[in-house]
Structure formats: structure tokens, C-alpha cells
Structure 1
Amino acid sequence: MAEIGKGVTAGKLAINVQKRLTRAQEKVLQKLGKADETRDVAFEEMVSRFNQQMAEGTKLQKDLKAYQAAVKTMHDASRRLQDCLADMYEPDWFGKEEMDSLAEDTDTLWLEYQQNITDKSLLCIDTYLARFPDIKARIAKRDRKMVDFDSARHHFGSLQKGKKKDEAKIAKAEEELGRAQRIFEELNVELQDELPVLWDSRVGVYVNTFQNLAGHQEKFHREMGKLTQNLNDIMTKLEEQKQLNEEANHSESASSAPKSAVTNGSDGELPPGFLYKVKAIHDYAATDGDELELKIGDVVLVVAFDNPDEQDDGWLMGLLESNWLQKKDVSTKGVFPENFTQKV
């Protein structure tokens, strides 16, 4: 059985070698002008467009992968920067928890963007290009079968024109010609149907690829813009916290009198019942007519309650220093939450 197997393989190999030799001879004769060549200008134009289409699609795939790699590089750089900021951010600084959450949200957004590029845009172009190798192989096979057809046609013609006609050889040559023509025409018809459809499909592929990419880009930059604004707000609050701490430290070092000293206002510069000064470290919107509205940085002159029994825990009575200096009017005083301020 092994010898028979070898014989079959050797036979097929011999047939393939003979086919290659016959095709090579036919091509040489055609190039020398000694044998006519089957030409199909319309099909050649289709093949030219196919090659152009495949080259453009391959370049787009390459550039999309390069874009995805650049996005990954930016993601890695962003993550390292966020990690650096998290390591430096001290626990008592403003917005420590918000900073940690912001870093996590930023990392998630980058990961989603990369995955969307892969799943939507790259997958679309990969699926599109997967069709090309099979068609390219069938075009090459069609070209080989066309040479076989020309060779069979010329062989049949030469036998018919010979002085000594061998009817058996002519019949065999005619049969081989019919078979070669049939194989060639089947391939030719299939490709003539498929190539125009493939050519027209490129528009839809490009539209889907770039619409998906544009949509994900727009979403990514919109969401990243929100996170960037949040980061900017946290940094602004941190700067305000720093300035308030510096002013408080400066006031403590410059003052020689106890902060809790009570003044009766006899110097004419402070309101009656003045106790001490505080500075607002948060905004406070008054919700009642007897409350004092605060903005970050406002200096408040704390005064004693007219009736101590009216004082609630955690609330102080006072008036804005700016109003007092301008009007010297104690009627503008009001209550406010103590934890929204800091002594100065």
C-alpha cells in the first residue's frame, strides 16, 4: 500500500510539473508574439481596483493599530501621572477622597476608549480585509487557468492545421480544450460577480469604521472634559485652603493678645460685645432672616448674643467686618455655623 501511495503522489507531482512547464512555454510564446493571448480589459480593470482596494484597506488597518497603540501609550502616561499625584496628595488636603475617585474614573474611561476602538473600528476593518486573501488566490488561479485554456486552444488549433491529422489526438485535444475552457469560465464568472460587489462595499466599511471612531472620540473627550474640570475645581479649593492656613498662621504669630480676649468696643473700631474674628472657609447660604450669609474668605466679627439662652450649640453671632468698617451698623449681624469658619 505504501508503494501505491508513493506512486500516486509521484504521478500528481509529475502532472503539476508538466502543467508549469506548459504554462511557462505558453507565456514565452505570448510574449514573443508567436501565440495570441486571451485578454479581458474589463476584468483587468477589476483586478487593478481590487489591488488598490486591498492596499488602501491594509494601510487603514495599519494606521488604526498605530492609533490604538498611541491611545494605550497616552493611557499609560495618564495613569502614571495620576499615581504620582495620589502619592503626593496628603490625607488632610482638600478633596483627598475625590482625588482617589477621580483617578479611578479617569483610568476606567481610558480603558473603555481603547476597548471601543478594538471592538468597533478595528474589528470592522479586520473583518473586511479577511475577504481579500481568498479572492486574491482565486484571481491567481483564474490567471493560471486562462494560460491553460490558451495553451489547450493553441494545441488543438495546431493539430487541426497539421498535414497529417490524427483524429484520436484531435479528439483528445478538443476534450482537453473544453475542460480547460469550462474551468476558466467558471472562475471568471464567479470573480466578475464578486469583484464589483467587493469594490462597492468599501464605502460602507469606511463609513462604519470612522463613524464608530468619531462617536467614541466625542464621548471620550466629553467625559474626560468633565473629569478635567473636577480636577481643576479640587486644585482651586486646595489653593484656597492653603491661603487660609497661611493667613491663620500669620495672624497667630503677629498677635500678642489672647485670641479669646473680650473687647467692649470702647476703641470705636469694634462693635459692642466683640469677642474675636473668624474667616469663612466655606460658602454658607442663609436660609432664615436672622442668619448671616458667608462667602469663602469673608472676615466675621464675632459678638456676644444679647440673650445667651438664645445661642444654639455650634452657632455664633457676628457681622461682616467689611460692613462694620463701612457703616458701623450692628443691625447687620446674624447667626452662622461655627464649623464653616476658622479663627484668625
Structure 2
Amino acid sequence: MADIKGGLFAKTVQKHAGRAKEKILQNLGKADRTVDDVFDEYEINFTRQQTNANRLHKEVSNYLRCCRALHGASKSLYETLGEVYEPEWVGHELLYAQAQNSDMLWTDFCHKLQDQTLAPLTAYVQQFPDIRKKIDKRGRKLVDYDSQRHQLENLQRARSRDEYKIARARDALESARVTYEALNKELYDELPQLYDQRIPNIAAHLQTLFAAEATVMAESSKVAKELEAIADKLSKECAKGTYKVKRAAAPRPLSVIEPSSPHNANSPSMWYDGGVEEEGSNSHGALEGSEGTLDITKTTTEEDNVENSIEAKESYKPLPDSEEAPPTSSPPPVSSSPEPPSDNNNPSTDEAAPTDSSTQPDNNNRPTISAPVTQNKEETGRPYEEIEFEDKKVNGTVAPQARTNGEVIGTKIPPGATTDGLPSGILYRVRATYKYTREDVDEISFEVGEVIQVVEYEDPEEQEEGWLTGIKESTSEKGLFPANFTRPI
């Protein structure tokens, strides 16, 4: 078995070597080559036909892939419309029906492209590789025939004729001629026949393709007109006021409860600018409809009110840079800024809370502070904004001052904030005492301990109470942040 395999391998190598030698001699002009102009034309036509068929098959496959993607996008769009289009709106059932019609149209169109266009085109293209192999084999057999013919001619021209070798060369030449002529005759029949099939095949493929496309386009146009009519009717119903929401005459007033202990140091009375009422009075403030402010009466004397204000101011003295603990009591949030998270483990907060139950205010009588409540003023600020201070120069410029009566309110500098040695445009610096995660694109997030450089609002008229504009020193990110989540340094 090994000898047989070795003999076949040697014979194959010898055959390839003989063909290579013959082609070199033909290319150099030292050996003639059998020429068949008719077959050469057949081969040129076949090559062009194969190239065009492969290109058409590739583009139809890509077209079908894109149609399936468009079908998926259309189906997703109608599903979203079905969820967005509320059941009580006019035409809800019609919208669902048209969505089903569109899905059926695209499904049928993709099936037609697959079964009636791409599948026959694939069968048409698959026959070219087999014929190409026959053409290549015919070329090799023609080289073998020319090689055997040249060997016989050389033996016949030799001075000493060897009849045995001449006879063997004649037999080999005859065998090569028979093999070559059999392939050549077969291709003479197949190539013209295949070439004539190009027009019927392409015409049939294009006919099924564009007929299916015309159907889906026409039916899709009808679906689009129906959907347009549904949307137009919905717009007309909306213009008539069919879907308008009933609005209440006025917002519901907030509930207000008075504190029970006027001597509590942690009383939030410092956050309200209401005047001191007579001792012993216990009346609730009324919500003014036009102004939107809430009045709270207090049962404290003027002396107690002053003491509470002094204690509250002292509790917001700036901490040294080395201290990272939050202030002893978290400031109540204003309406436009979030409330910092409570820390049950903070020893400063626990220490500030009174332990005597007789001095603690009744939880049921604590005033609601979800919105700024005043008696004579329109707005309140952070604790340090309640403290008056003189104009300060920041980096060579006068810091903008708060103005009222419709004028611009600039960013105030709290007491204790260091303004020396800061870059131009930086008012002062603050350190985060609570973690904050931004809730809008124009805000910044920060962790506890991060340092932020406070700068002026780009448009002072857009400044919101309780909010500052700053730049994080760690990332140079600029944005808004709640002031009561930080302390000045």
C-alpha cells in the first residue's frame, strides 16, 4: 500500500512538473500552443456572467437583510405607539389594527424576497463553481496534450530513432487527446447554454423582487393614510378640549402646628422672620392667597427669641480645616434645595439634642418647614445669610451684594470664609459635609470632604436661594450644588 501511494505521488509530481515546464516554454515562445478562439470567447462570457451573478446575489442578500431590519424597526415603533397611545384617546383600536396590518405586510414581503427571489438566485449562482472547475481541468488537459505532442515530435526528429519510445509517445498523445476532446465537447455544449440563461434568470428575479416591493409599498401607503387620519382626528379632539385636565381653583394650604416649648435652643424659629406675638397667644397663621406666605405665631418673649437667634448663629461657626465632622445641627432645607441626609451616629448631633423631656418640643406641635415660612419677608436663606456683614473685596473686586425689590441678588460670602490668596474669580472655598448626588445635568455630585471653589452665577438673575455655583478642585467640574451640604473654609 505504501509503494502504491508513493508511486501515485511521484506520478502526480512528475505531471505537475511537466505542465509547468510546458507553460514556461510556451510563454517564452519556444513551444507552440493549441489555440481555440471560439472557446476563449466562451470562457470570457462565462467569467463576466459569473461575476455579475455573484454581485446580484450579494446585493439581493443585503437588501433582504435590510428589509428584515426595517421590519423589526417598524414593529418596535408600532409597539411603542400602542403603549404611548392611551386607551381613552380616539382611534386606539384602529391604531392596533393598523399595526397588525403593517406587521403582516412586512412579514409577507420578506418571505417573498427569500423564497421567490433570493433562493432561485442562489441556485443560479451555485452552478458556476462546477463549470469553472471543468474549464480549469480542460486547460490542464490541453497543456498535457501539447506536451505529449512536443515529446513525440522530438522523438521523431532524433537522429537515432527509438521505435519503442515513439510508440509509447503516440499512445500517451492519443490518451491526452481523447481526454481533452471529451471535456472540450462538453463545455462547448454547456457554456453557450448557460450564457443564454442569464437574461431569463435576471428578468425573473427582478420581476418577483419589484412586484413584491410594489405590493408592500402600496399597502403600506394605505396603512400610513389610515394612521394619518387617526392622528388628525386626535388633534381635532384635543383642540375641542376633550382631553383637558380639570384644574383646582387653588392649591391646598399647608398644615401648621406651633412648638410647645419656646425655650428650646433647637427651635426652628430662627428660620422665620415673623414678629413676636404677645405671651400666651396660641393662634395659627393663615396662608395668604396672593402672596403665598405662611405666618406662624410664637409664644416666646422678645428676650427668648434673641437668645435662640444667638445660639443658632453660634452653632454655625465655621469649623477648622482639620475637622471633617458635619455641623452640630443640620440646617433645615429651603424649598429650592435638597435636605442633607441625617446621621444617627453623629456625636455632635446627639450632643446638641436636649435630654430633658420637659424641654423637648412636642412632635405633634412642630411647625412644618417643608417650605420657607415668613411673615414680613418674601424669602429666607441659609443661616449665614441671616448675618449681616460689610462689603468684602474678593481678589481685588467688590463681592456682589444681595438686592431686593426686583434687583439682582449676588452670591454672599459667609463669615469665616477665607478669601485671601484665591485665584481670580473664586469668591471662597467650601468643604462638603454630606455626600450629594446630582439630580440634574447642570448640577455636580461630590463626596464628604471634597473641596469646592464657589464662583459667581453666570447670570445672577437665575440664582436660586440655597444653591451655589462652584468648581470641584478634584475634577474641575462646574455646576450647581446645595449650600447646606457644605461649610465654608
What TM-score do the two structures reach when normalised by structure 2? 0.49
Correspondent of 1:22 among 9, 12, 18: 18
Match of 2:160 in 1: 164
Q: Does 1:42 align with 2:74?
A: no
Partners of 1:104 and 1:189 in 2: CA distance: 58
State the shift of 1:120 in Å: 1.0
Residue 9 in structure 1 maps to residue 15 in structure 2: no
Q: What's 1:66 paired with?
A: 62
Aligned counterpart, 1:180: 176
Structure 1 residue 245 displacement after superposition: 3.3
1:10-66 deviation per Cα after TM superposition (whole angstroms, max 9, x unaligned): 221111111000001111111111111001111111111111111111111111112
Structure 2 match to 1:137: 133
Structure 2 counterpart of 1:198: 194
Equivalent residues of 1:120, 1:212 under 8 A apart: yes
Aligned to 2:28: 32
Aligned to 1:109: 105
Aligned to 1:225: 221
Matches of 1:31 and 1:142 in 2, distance apart? 19
Cα distance in 2 for partners of 1:182, 1:217 equals 52
| TM-aligned CA distance change 1:212 to 1:16, over 3 Å | same
Unaligned runs of 5+ in 2: 250-489
The alignment partner of 2:35 has SS state of: coil
CA distance in 2 between counterparts of 1:247 and 1:135 reads 71
More helix by share: 1
Distance 1:249 1:60, change over 3 A: closer
**How many Å apart are 1:246 and its aligned residue?**
4.4
Deviation readout 1:61-103 (Å, 9 max, x if unpaired): 1111121122122212212211221110111111212211211
Please tell me whether the aligned partners of residues 124 and 208 of structure 1 are also in contact (alpha carbons under 8 angstroms): no
Contact residue 237 and residue 243 of structure 2 kept, 8 A: no
Question: Residue deviations 1:181-204, cap 9 Å, x none?
Answer: 000000001101110111110000
CA distance in structure 2 between the partners assigned to 1:13 and 1:238 by the alignment: 83
Percent identity reads 36
Is contact 1:106–1:227 with CA below 8 Å preserved after alignment?
Answer: yes
What is the CA–CA distance in structure 2 between the aligned matches of 1:180 and 1:111, rounded to whole Å?
A: 57
* Residue-pair matches, total: 247
Name the CA distance, whole Å, in 2 between partners of 1:178 and 1:249.
100
- Compute the TM-score of the two structures, normalised by the length of structure 1: 0.69
Counterpart residue number, 1:51 = 47
Is 1:216 paired with 2:208? no
Separation (CA, whole Å) in 1 of partners of 2:38 and 2:20: 25
Q: Which has the higher contact order (CA 8 A, sep 6+)?
A: 1
| Structure 1: gaps (5+ residues) | 254-344
- Within the alignment, does 1:88 sit opposite 2:90 as a pair? no
Q: Is the 8 A contact 1:26 1:147 kept in 2?
A: yes
Output one character per residue of 1:311-342: Cα deviation in whole Å (capped at 9) or x when no partner.
xxxxxxxxxxxxxxxxxxxxxxxxxxxxxxxx
Whether 1:234 aligns to 2:230 is yes
Aligned alpha-carbon RMSD (Å): 1.7
**Cα offset, 1:249, TM superposition:** 8.0
Q: Cα deviation per residue 1:107-162 (whole Å; 9 max; x = unaligned)?
A: 12111111111111111211111110000000000000000000000111111111
More displaced 10-residue stretch of structure 1: 241-250 or 167-176: 241-250
Amino acid at match of 1:207: A
SS at match of 2:156: helix
TM-superposed CA distance for 1:210, in Å, is 0.4
